Amino acid sequence: MAVSGRFVALVVFGVAPIVLIGQPWALLAWLLLVAALATLDLLLAGSPRAVRLSRELPARVRLGESVASILLIANPGRRRVRGMVRDGWSPSAVAEPGRAPLDIPAGEQRTITTTLTPFRRGERRAAHVTIRSFGPLGLTARQATMIAPGTITVLPPFNSRKHLPSRLARLRELDGATSVMVRGQGTEFDSLRDYVRGDDVRSIDWRATARRATASGPGLVVRTWRPERDRRVVIVIDSGRTSAARIDNEPRIDTAFESALLLAALASSAGDRVDMVIYDRRVRARVQGATGAELLSRMVSSMAPVDPELIEMDWTAVPALVRSITSNHALVVLATTIDAPGTSRGLLAVLPQLTRKHMVVVASVTDPTVLDATQQRSNRDDVYRAAAAERALLDQSRVAAAVRQLGAEVVTAAPQDLPPALADAYIALKAAGRL
């Protein structure tokens, strides 16, 4: 049960008769009248319990986009249901409007459209629907809450896809498919063809030329290469406690997701096979054996519900995890944090096992505020902060040096720059034939 503003107005309007009559019993009479009207109104209100609810909503939405959630309300009762309805979405789903007017004649059905603009990744849920049904006088209402679950999966935004066209163009240049003369640095032998002016003389295959030698002339033959194809790329994303840290208001894990998505899009169009695993002490998500468009779609849906766990990453299990994915040489990308020697000890301990067989790239987000802090030295507090920031940078560079010494590559950048930086590192490795 609920009362309306009209009810309050009715109560306060009783001042007039009480003053006019001027007797204390007028108060009692007025209260009885109000109570009678309120009870009558309540009895005449349509039952909110009887309505039938169903939902129509898309299964997934990309973070930052809006989507319409449709609630169908049928009124099978004999009385009109008139009042308000509230669709109980969780706050981070940002449902607009929060409450909507409702007027369903007996035996009919109406739709309530709510626009959802979620601001947090993962599964956003609606728990229940609350209906407040007013009587014909609009004084009092019957209210009931019905369990009406609804779920929408909010996918990572993949904002870094804007970098994809330029990187794909770089790949095509490697491929020799465009007219730009970039010498194929890839190591995979493709075919032999006649020498044309402009070819690198170092690529002349003298043995083939000798075999083809005819009277008509030298008929030089050059070797052509194409970039390696069908290589394996294994992306391991750390979802341990360090990935919960926010840099530029974005958790490290989200930056890792962005980087992984861009790399996967790039590598799959370059013909490589991409596998991804999100791990802290257990496998939180795994995408294996997917290709083409299915790869990205499976990656985003497996990433969506993963949140950082406040536990330490278990690096000792990572080599076995990689081995379970591929036994061949692969590019292993570890999206993690290399901040301090203490926290990176586990990573450094297992790196040799990985680098022995695979090409390893460690991708880590750096905090641009730390870099800014080193230059801010206007007063005493700032100087101490700058000193701490310098110390943090020194720690980072020490860990990065240790990682390089163990034979792995390091890619560090600010959150916005890490995905393209990782893509560039991949292209560079591919061009150098080190995959």
Partner 1 sequence: MTTQAPSQSVLTPTVGRVAKRALFWVAVAAFAILIAIVALATAGSTAGGAPLDPESAAPGGSMAVAEVLRQQGVDVVVASSLVEARNAVAGVDDTTVLLYDPDGYLDDDQLREAATLARSVVVVDANFTQLQAIAPNIAQAGDADTELTAGCDVPAAARAGSVSGEAVGYRVIDDSVGTATCFGSGDDVFSLVQVNRDGVELTVLGLTAALTNERVIDSGNAALALNLLGAKSTLVWYIPTLADVPDAGPATLGELTPPWVTPVLLLLALTFVAAAVWRGRRFGPLVIENLPVIVRSSETMLGRARLYERSSSRLRALDALRMGAIQRLAVLCGQPRSASVDEVVSAVAGVTGAQRHVIRDLLVDTIPGTDADLVTLSDALLVLERDVAVAVRP
List the interface residues with partner 1, window 307-366 (CB under 8 A). Answer: 307-308, 310, 339-340
375 token code pair: 């230059």
Among 242, 171, 202, residue whose Cα is nearest residue 431: 171
Binding piece for partner 1, criterion CB under 8 A, among 27-35, 177-185, 216-224, 344-352: 27-35
Binder of partner 1 out of 179, 191, 216, 375 (CB under 8 A): 375
The greatest distance separating any two alpha carbons of the chain, rounded to the nearest whole angstrom, comes to 133
How many angstroms separate the CA atoms of 253 and 234, rounded? 17
Both tokens assigned to 274: 């991409």
Does 128 help bind partner 1 (rule: CB under 8 A)?
yes
Residues 125, 161, 172, 223: which binds partner 1 (CB under 8 A)?
Answer: 125
Confirm if 41 and 140 have CB atoms less than 8 A apart. yes
**Does residue 126 interact with partner 1 by CB under 8 A?**
yes
Binding mask 135-174 for partner 1 (x = CB under 8 A): --------xxxxxxxxx-----------------------
Smallest separation, CB 84 to partner 1 (Å):
7
Measured from the CB atom, the residue of 40 and 148 that comes closer to partner 1 is 148
List beta partners, residue 103: 82
CA dist., res. 68 & res. 115, Å (int):
5
Cβ at position 372, least distance to partner 1 in Å: 10
For 271, phi then psi, to 5°, come to 90, 10
What is the nearest approach in angstroms of partner 1 to the Cβ of residue 89?
7
295 burial (CB, 10 Å; 0-12 / 13-18 / 19+) is buried
Q: Which residues contact 395 (CB under 8 A, 6 or more apart)?
A: 339, 340, 341
35 with 139: CB under 8 angstroms? no
**DSSP characters for 369-412?**
HHHHHHH--SSHHHHHHHHHHHHHHHHHHHHHHHHHHTT-EEEE
Least distance (Å) between residue 291 CB and partner 1: 26
71-100 positions binding partner 1, by CB under 8 A:
84, 86, 88-92, 99
Regarding 369 and contact with partner 1 (CB under 8 A), the answer is: yes
Quick one: which segment of 207-215, 240-248, 314-322, 420-428 binds partner 1 (CB under 8 A)?
Answer: 240-248
Binding-site string for partner 1 from residue 248 to residue 277, where x marks contact by CB under 8 A and - marks none: ---xx-------------------------
* Nearest C-alpha neighbor of 338 from the set 305, 311, 309, 315: 315
- Read off the DSSP letter of residue 94: -
Q: Does 24 bind partner 1 (CB under 8 A)?
A: yes
Rg from Cα positions in the chain: 33
Residue 151 vs 185, nearer CB to partner 1: 151
CB of 111 to partner 1, least distance (A): 12
Q: Kindly state the smallest distance separating residue 419's Cβ from partner 1, in Å.
A: 18
Question: Looking at 106, 394, 428, 432, which residue binds partner 1 (CB under 8 A)?
Answer: 394
Q: Which of 32, 33, 213, 383 binds partner 1 (CB under 8 A)?
A: 383
Q: Specify the residue, 182 or 387, whose C-beta has the smaller distance to partner 1.
A: 387
- CA pair distance 123, 151, nearest whole angstrom: 7
